[in-house]
Every structure is written in structure tokens, then in C-alpha cells.
Amino acid sequence: ILADPAAPAERKVLVTVALQNVIDPKLVERLIPLISTDLDDVTRSCATQIIALQPDENTKVLLSGLLEDRSANVRLAALQGLALM
């Protein structure tokens, strides 16, 4: 659903909430392409929020790189994730 450009923002947010208790490195690997700047901000911020739940050094580096993102929502999700580490 997150990768579907036609999916409504509300559905993407619900998926994000549902996945917040799933910490799986394989899931993170699948979400990394969804933070591409080619995608919409809702998709990117939702993916960032889920990725931020994987507390490891790779995630920290990835989130640090998003602190200067064009989207305020992506920046906020990255900052919140870093604050939890």
C-alpha cells in the first residue's frame, strides 16, 4: 500500500500505525526505496517513520541523511527516530 501511488494518504498512515510494532530488518530493506525523492511526501514520511523503529547504526546513518530533506514531514520523522535511539 505504501508503494502504491494511487493509495490514499489516510490508508498509508493506517499502514504505518499498524507496522509500528513490527521491527524486522527485512521490512526495513523493503522500505528504503520508498524514501526516494521521486515519491510523494506522505509515502516518504510513512516509510521513514517505520524505518526509524529499527534501532541500529545503518538506520541512524540513513535518518541523519534525511535531516535536510525537502519535506518537513520526512525531516520530522527522521528527527523523531534519531531522538529514540
Q: What is the pLDDT of residues 32-75, one digit of tens each?
A: 999 998 999 999 999 999 999 988 899 999 999 999 999 999 99
Q: Report, in this order, helix, strand and coil percent for the chain, each rounded to 5.
A: 65, 0, 35
Q: What is the pLDDT of residues 15-28, one digit of tens each?
A: 999 988 877 888 88
| pLDDT value at residue 62 | 95
Sign of CA dihedral 74, 12, 20, 30: negative
Q: What is the pTM of this model?
A: 0.89
